[in-house]
């Protein structure tokens, strides 16, 4: 009798170990390893003393970061590699530290209750943290915590926004309002690509307080207005082009319909809405990153990721006529909906 040949177990083994790699990076960022090494190469004992941690345990973490491609160890002195200096150091203009800290403190424990989320179809906020307090209010109680998170979103935005605003020809529009625009990365990318465009960032007052420095750094303080407000409660500023980036996937269809209705009503004929989200394949078998993001939305929000057809249905129900989707190859894709 012929013995059956077992399939290669590597995909299973890799996923068994995958969370360990994530947590090693989370821990090193949280402890300040990369921030300290950005000051210059250093030896184990000095690093352990400065970080106030156990030297033997730190050595294991540092060597793991070497193997992960974040650090190098030359002559018993550790130093940051360029990828760590760019994305894992707080002071870097491209830092993802804020989002990593949020992933460590919020998403990592929330994902521990994924089974219950699947059973009940609801987020795990109260189960994980014992509170009904909104997610951002719970974690961002200090200005520094809020700024760290905004910095993390800014890092993602710098990767995603340029290809999003390049996905369609937006040159005919005169005024863009980025609804829930955070640090203004999309508004800045649009202004850089379209010299005649003027823009505004419309976000909560606590966010607007930390946005100004990013707009000034981008060189668009004279072209991008900062407007505090709540897009569910307050009137939207006037525009012929609105944008929503990583906003729609947070909410239930009921709330999305409310927001899209406000956007549609605020646009002139021929105006448009630019949506920046991860698009699922129509058969929902990929991309993997989008599917994982949709599970993340399950455990921490009331939203989910969607296909272009699903977004199109919501947009058409709001009254939009011409709808196009575009895969950017970046973390976020683009959808443009025009008011007929």
The per-residue pLDDT string of the chain (340 residues; one tens digit each, 9 = 90 and over) reads 667 889 999 999 999 999 999 999 999 999 999 999 999 999 999 999 999 999 999 999 999 999 999 999 999 999 999 999 999 999 998 889 988 998 998 899 999 999 999 999 999 999 999 987 666 666 666 777 777 777 777 888 889 999 999 999 999 999 999 999 988 999 999 999 999 999 999 999 988 888 888 888 888 989 999 999 999 999 999 999 999 999 999 999 999 999 999 999 999 999 999 999 999 999 999 999 999 999 999 999 999 999 999 999 999 999 999 999 999 999 999 999 999 8
44, burial (CB in 10 Å: exposed 0-12, middle 13-18, buried 19+): middle
List CB contacts of 274: < 8 A, sequence separation 6 or more.
164, 165, 168, 170, 176, 241, 242, 243, 244, 334, 335, 336
Measured distance CA(139)–CA(149) in Å, rounded: 10
Taking the alpha carbons of 99, 100, 105, 108 in that order, is the dihedral positive or negative?
A: positive
Interhelix angle for 253-266 vs 308-318, to 10°?
A: 50
Nearest-Å Rg of the Cα atoms of the chain is 22
Measured distance CA(44)–CA(70) in Å, rounded: 16
- This prediction's pTM: 0.91
Please tell me what DSSP assigns to residue 107: I
Measured distance CA(338)–CA(322) in Å, rounded: 5
- pLDDT at position 216, please? 86
Q: Which two tokens stand for residue 298?
A: 């399950």
Measured distance CA(336)–CA(339) in Å, rounded: 10
Query: Does residue 210 have a cis peptide bond before it, meaning omega lies within 30 degrees of 0?
Result: no
Torsions phi, psi of 225, nearest 5? Answer: -90, 145
Q: In what order do the strands lie in the sheet with 175-179?
A: 224-228, 198-203, 175-179, 241-245, 272-277, 333-339, 320-326
Domains of the chain, first to last:
10-87 (1.10.10.10), 137-339 (3.40.50.150)
Active site residue 154: no
**297: nearest Cα among 118, 129, 148, 149:** 118
Cα 6 to its chain centre, rounded Å, is 39
Interhelix angle for 143-165 vs 205-218, to 10°?
A: 60
136, burial (CB in 10 Å: exposed 0-12, middle 13-18, buried 19+): middle
List CB contacts of 53: < 8 A, sequence separation 6 or more.
31
Cβ-based neighbour number of residue 83 at 10 Å: 12
Catalytic pick from 123, 154, 185, 249?
249
Cα 282 to its chain centre, rounded Å, is 23
First to last CA, the chain: 69
3-state helix, strand, coil in the chain (%, to 5): 50, 15, 35
């Amino acid at each position: 009798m012929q013995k059956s040949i077992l399939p290669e177990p590597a995909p299973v083994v890799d996923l068994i170990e995958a969370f360990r790699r994530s947590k090693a990076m989370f821990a090193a960022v949280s402890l300040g390893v990369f921030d300290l090494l950005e000051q210059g190469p250093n030896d184990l004992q000095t690093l352990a003393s400065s970080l106030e941690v156990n030297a033997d345990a730190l050595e294991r973490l540092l060597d793991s970061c070497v193997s992960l491609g974040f650090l190098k160890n030359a002559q018993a002195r550790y130093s940051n590699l360029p990828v760590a200096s760019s994305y894992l150091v707080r002071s870097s203009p491209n830092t993802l530290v804020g989002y990593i800290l949020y992933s460590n403190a919020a998403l990592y424990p929330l994902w521990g209750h994924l089974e219950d989320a699947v059973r009940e179809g609801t987020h795990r906020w109260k189960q994980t943290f014992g509170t009904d307090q909104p997610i951002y209010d719970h974690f961002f109680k200090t200005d520094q915590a809020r700024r760290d998170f905004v910095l993390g979103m800014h890092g993602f935005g710098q990767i995603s926004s340029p290809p999003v605003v390049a996905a369609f020809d937006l040159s005919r529009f005169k005024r863009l309002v980025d609804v829930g625009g955070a640090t203004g990365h999309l508004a800045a990318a649009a202004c850089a690509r379209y010299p005649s465009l003027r823009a505004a960032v419309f976000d909560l007052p606590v966010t607007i307080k930390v946005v100004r420095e990013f707009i000034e750094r981008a060189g668009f303080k004279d072209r991008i207005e900062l407007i505090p407000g709540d897009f569910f409660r307050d009137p939207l500023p006037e525009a012929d082009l609105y944008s929503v980036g990583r906003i729609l996937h947070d909410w239930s269809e009921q709330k999305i319909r409310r927001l899209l209705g406000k956007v549609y009503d605020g646009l002139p004929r021929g105006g448009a809405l630019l949506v920046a989200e991860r698009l699922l394949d129509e058969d929902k078998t990929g991309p993997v990153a989008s599917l994982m993001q949709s599970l993340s939305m399950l455990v921490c929000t009331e939203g989910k990721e969607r296909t272009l057809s699903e977004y199109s249905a919501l947009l058409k129900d709001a009254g939009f006529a011409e709808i196009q989707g575009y895969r950017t190859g970046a973390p976020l894709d683009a959808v443009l909906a025009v008011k007929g």
